[in-house]
């Protein structure tokens, strides 16, 4: 049995955040090849779950950058939201320019700010990294700035998900485009970073596609399936 972890935003979408038909076509191709498909996202559980339903995928999901997983129709919350809320309040006072992202109100495990400029992102990351009492980590998803309990990420969530599934997977694949996908790449056998990925993600992946966004996703799926034939 084969399993593939697929990021959503920036991976199966175009540059405007829309999921084109071609992505659906190749997701269906993975289904035909008997892959267990796990959507992974830094987005909220409810948004990720809704997309899963619309895409016609019935397998597990990883949401909120690993803070929440759903396996066998059971929701497991892996990160404590109170840590994220406490840290977010401190960050708001330290960096008044930060604005809450609307999805924070519907999240189960983390807190999200609208993404500030890149220079400020790094400044905030450094501040959190040097303040162990906060017990959180900052992730730049390229769309927002996520605050989540330290040591919780997509890679950790994937390992817990696999343990709960308790199935003999031959190969673990992953496709993504940002720093939140790096821990997932690390625990996968074969990983693809898209051309539009950050440099850190590209360095962490097994392969880097020659195309960006959903076209890069299609390229990765083609290569994966061709190697199986």
Both structure tokens of 24: 């659906």
In this structure, the number of other CB atoms found within 10 A of the CB of residue 119 comes to: 8
Instruction: Outline which parts of the chain fall under CATH 3.90.1070.10.
Output: 81-149
* Cα–Cα dist 28/141, whole Å: 26
Q: Is the pTM of this model over 0.85?
A: yes
Q: Which fold has domain 2-78+152-228?
A: Rossmann fold (3.40.50)
- Reported as a single tens digit per residue, the pLDDT across 141-179 is 888 999 999 999 999 999 999 999 988 888 999 999 999
Instruction: Outline which parts of the chain fall under CATH 3.40.50.1000.
Output: 2-78+152-228
Q: Say if residue 59's pLDDT is above 60.
A: yes
Instruction: Compute CA distances 134 → 72, 99, 105, 141, 153, whole Å.
Output: 33, 19, 20, 20, 16
- Reported as a single tens digit per residue, the pLDDT across 72-131 is 889 999 999 999 999 999 999 999 999 999 999 999 999 999 999 989 999 999 999 999
The CATH number of 81-149 is 3.90.1070.10
Beta strands 144-149 and 111-114: pairing type?
Answer: antiparallel
User: Residue 17: which of 32, 27, 25, 7 has the closest Cα?
Assistant: 7
The pLDDT, as a whole number, for residue 229 is 54
């Amino acid at each position: 049995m084969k399993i593939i972890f697929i990021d959503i935003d920036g991976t199966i979408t175009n540059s405007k955040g829309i999921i084109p038909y071609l992505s659906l076509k190749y997701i269906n191709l993975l289904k035909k090849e008997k892959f267990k498909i796990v959507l992974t996202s830094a987005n909220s559980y409810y948004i990720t779950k809704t997309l899963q339903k619309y895409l016609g995928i019935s397998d597990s999901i990883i949401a909120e950058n690993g803070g929440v997983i759903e396996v066998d129709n059971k929701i497991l919350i892996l990160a404590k939201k109170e840590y994220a809320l406490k840290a977010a309040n401190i960050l708001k006072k330290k960096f008044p320019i930060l604005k809450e992202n609307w999805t924070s109100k519907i999240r189960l495990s983390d807190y999200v700010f609208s993404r500030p400029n890149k220079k400020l992102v790094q400044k905030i990351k450094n501040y959190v990294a040097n303040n162990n009492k906060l017990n959180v980590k900052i992730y730049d998803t390229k769309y927002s700035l996520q605050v989540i309990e330290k040591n919780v990420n997509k890679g950790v969530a994937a390992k817990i998900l696999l343990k709960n599934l308790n199935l003999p997977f031959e190969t673990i694949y992953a496709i993504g485009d940002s720093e939140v996908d790096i821990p997932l790449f690390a625990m996968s056998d074969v990983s693809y970073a898209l051309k539009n990925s950050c440099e850190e993600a590209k360095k962490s992946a097994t392969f880097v596609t020659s195309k960006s966004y959903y076209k890069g996703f299609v390229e990765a799926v083609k290569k994966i399936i061709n190697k199986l034939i």
